[in-house]
Amino acid sequence: MTRDVLLDIQGLEVHFETRRGIARAVNDVDLQLYKGERFGLVGESGSGKTTMILALLRMIKTPGFIAGGRAVFDDGTDLLALSADKVRENRLRRVAMVPQGAMNSLNPVMRIGEQIMLTMREHGEEVDTLEAHVAQLLDQVGLRAEVARLYPHELSGGMKQRACIAQAISLRPRLILADEPTSALDVVVQRQIMQTLRQLQLQLDATVLLVGHDMGLMAQFAERVGIMYGGKLVEVGTVADVFRNPQHPYTQLLISSIPSFERRGTFKGIPGVGLSLLDPPSGCLFHPRCPQAMERCSVDEPGFTHLGPGQHVSCLLYEKDE
Amino acid sequence: MTPLLEAHHVRKVYSGGGLLQADKTETVAVDDFTLAIDGDTPSFTTIAGESGSGKTTIARLLLGIAPPTSGTVRYRGVDIGAMGKKDMRAFRQDVQAIFQDPFEVYNPFYKIDHILTTPIEKFGLASSRQQAAELIDEALRTVGLRPDETLGRYPHQLSGGQRQRITIARALLLKPKLIIADEPVSMVDASLRATILASLHKLFIDFGISFIYITHDLTTAYQVSEKVVVLYHGTVAEAGDVEQVIKDPKHPYTRELIHSIPVPDPGNSWIEEAVEEKDVEVPDTTTGGCRYTPRCAHATDRCEHMPPLYRLDDGRVASCVLYDDREPLDGGDLTSIISVTP
């Protein structure tokens, strides 16, 4: 089964210039996102997952910069090559973001309805129908119409996150980027918000790129998953393949380190410490911590090996000798 | 048993508003909490709850950082609010704290060694420099750190996981009877959580140190602890053996809480199944009724009065009118529920 590609990311590079040298926060990432899919991007802090979505939004700030690559929409638009005013126009219409801390992303002195209307007005939407549109958006995210007249401090954390989602979908984006949208919320509310996000994704036929480190959430929400380590994408596959049959040694350790209600009193961590992007190891970035490391892992950089339908891994174990 | 640390009908009320606002608002952070930690038999108890449940307030009350509004916290029978210098010193050695943020507890200008040598000096734990070095060496190795990789470095040179393990090593130096750990793994990466939890578990098993593990994360609670107390807005919803409470929750809130946890198994219907609970604004903690009523799918008129903790057949307790045909737990005292039979 071939699926239509919505966004084709090729060779994405994001670098940060520091006094101690260049840090490659996103390191030669290739990724295709399909139309109407839910894709989960997983990684530890510093793995480059948030940087990657900020690059797609063109929100990388100095000393960081996009050092290379393309991110081409199905209509031929390259997100990374847009001019400054096109970037603005592009946000919300093509790509929208659901932020991590909803409490910090709403204007505290503006009513919820006004905030949503403001963004739509800025994007040149019809003024007369705005109020009705806001009521409809609030309804879509499960909020009462009265919420439009409230200020952010009058809402609970979950309601604030819903308001942010209403704003994000206001111009019917085709790609919704969600950076740990529920990490600040309690689990019961988290589930309600994720269910709302999924319903909206189906209604809009949008693609959702969910970024986070909660493997449970990924398993439940995503259809495909990508694993990042040290700025590199090391494995991509369907959620079932990645969780039940992980191939990359890092993914294997990550999956076995997930706490669950199955085992008590056993603790499996990943040995070693995370890498420094300023002083990355040679060869495969994971080799110093890898239990299956071979001699050539400290020399050769692994490419991407195609394993089966939709499953890719970046590891020398799977590369045949020439 | 000889109680080491007890909370006796402790209540903590925070009042807001005040000076400028005419209407003073009151929030009951912890309402009538009673529990004693045994000084003889080690126990590992999780106090679990979501934000606003009062779990951190309980930690602060037990550590003597915040005074209770009413009720007492006692260390070896003495009220810690009225304790003399000598008792206070013993309390500060016997009961150790591990906090959430391994970045904030360090002074960035001092080397890591400073946080380890200070308790040795203050409590006179070593008679010579060499003995002090040996103690530090041993404590670091116990928590899985290599002294040559940690000593002589500055906090910024270490990862969050390493820093958190150093705070555990520091607590260990004092040979405490009880460690109160407030969300010790919530700020470290998933891959390192297991290592830190393993260190805590080892101190319980090998050194007989009791733990109060405060967390919002029931999966890690299940992994490390023996007993669990689930809080909801300042009151105890359910408490008992971790295996019973997590595998078969009885209180409607605990049930909803546990079913809401996304499990790392892709074949589940978490995203589809309807959530029973209603998403409502923060409940008023000053009303007399069950705090969970506004969100509860099983709420009835009988929920207007705060239900006591009822004893269920398997030895756990739950505070819900669904079980009002059972015996209530005497004085709401959780001691017998959380103590571990040796």
- What confidence tens digit (pLDDT) does each residue in A133-145 have? 999 999 999 999 9
Give the CATH architecture of domain A5-94+173-318: 3-Layer(aba) Sandwich (3.40)
Determine the Cα–Cα distance for residues A77 and A107; give it in Å rounded to an integer. 31
3-state helix, strand, coil in chain A (%, to 5): 35, 25, 40
Percent of chain B scoring above 70 in pLDDT: 94
Residues B225/B58, Cβ–Cβ less than 8 Å:
no
ipTM: 0.85
If we measure between CA atoms, which residue out of A210, A201, A194, A243 comes closest to residue A42? A210
pLDDT tens digits for range B38-89: 999 999 999 999 888 999 999 999 999 999 999 999 999 999 999 999 999 9
3-state secondary structure B182-217: ECCCCCCCHHHHHHHHHHHHHHHHHHCCEEEEEECC
Range of the domain at B237: 3-338
Q: Tell me what pLDDT residue B22 has.
A: 57
Res. A173: pLDDT tops 70: yes
Record: contact B270-A190, CB cut-off 8 A: no
Quick one: pLDDT at residue B144? 83
Residues of chain B found within 8 Å of residue A269, distances taken between Cβ atoms = 191-195, 198
Residue B98's nearest CA partner among B228, B239, B196 is B196
Chains A and B form CB pairs within 8 A to the count of 132
What's the CATH code of the domain at B248? 3.40.50.300
CB of B341 less than 8 A from some CB of A: no
Least confident of A59-73, A261-275, B308-322: A261-275
**How far apart are the CA of B242 and the nearest CA of chain A, in angstroms?**
10
- Inspect the interface and report whether the beta carbons of B267 and A240 lie closer than 8 Å: yes
Nearest to B194 among A45, A261, A267 (CB): A267
Pick the residue from chain A with its C-alpha nearest to B242.
A264
* pLDDT value of residue A172: 92
Q: What does pTM read for this prediction?
A: 0.89
Quickly state the pLDDT bin for A322 (edges 50, 70, 90). Answer: very low
In the prediction, which pLDDT does B278 show? 65
pLDDT tens digits for A31-59? 999 999 999 999 888 899 999 999 999 99
Q: Return residues 32-51 of B near A (CB < 8 Å).
A: 50-51
Return the residue of B nearest to A254 by Cα.
Answer: B191
Q: Which residue in A157, A264, A270 is closest to B223 by CB distance? A: A264
Nearest-Cα residue of chain A relative to residue B245: A261
Please state which of the ranges A9-13, A20-24, B144-148 shows the lowest mean pLDDT: B144-148
What is the three-class DSSP state of A308?
A: strand
* Total structural domains within chain B: 1
The CA–CA distances, whole Å, from B34 to A164, B17, B29 equal: 41, 29, 14
Is B237 a residue whose pLDDT tops 90? Answer: yes
Q: Which residue, among B101, B215, B263, would best test binding to A if mutated, counting the most A CBs under 10 Å from its CB?
A: B263
Across the interface, of B246, B247, B266, the residue whose CB is closest to A239 is B266
Contact B189 A274 (CB under 8 A): yes
Give the model confidence (pLDDT) of A70-120 as tens digits: 999 999 999 999 998 899 888 888 999 998 876 678 999 999 999 999 988
Q: Output the six-digit token pair for B76.
A: 């070896």
